[in-house]
Amino acid sequence: MSEEKRVRVPREQFMQVWEETVHGLSTGKLQGSGVQIVAQRLGLKPNTVQQRATKYRTTYGIPLSNMPRRGGVKFNHNEALAELQAIRQRLEAAEDSE
């Protein structure tokens, strides 16, 4: 059995830290994984933080803000295809030069 002491975080404190983290990431004042930041600030495990946020949203109907996606970069399909084509061309050119 684990020797770790269970940390109890009141609902209001959890929601406060969650929303502060979302705001900080959105404004660029914070960097990194939002769930990791909340977990560190509250002394919880990241999985616990994610599960609790999901439960608040789905079971209790609490509309917690969504964490911004890491890096804030959207996937660009056309760029990815162009990059793949360039990689293949470099591989073919290297093969031809052998």
pLDDT in tens, 39-60: 999 999 999 999 999 999 999 9
Q: The tokens of 66 are what? A: 């969504």
pLDDT at 72 over 60: no
pTM assigned to the model = 0.67
Mean pLDDT of the chain: 89
Q: What is the 3-state secondary structure (H, E, C) of the chain?
A: CCCCCCCCCCHHHHHHHHHHHHHHHHHCCCCCCHHHHHHHHHCCCHHHHHHHHHHHHHCCCCCCCCCCCHHHCCCCHHHHHHHHHHHHHHHHHHHHCC
pLDDT at 26 over 90: no
CB 37 within 8 Å of CB 30 = yes
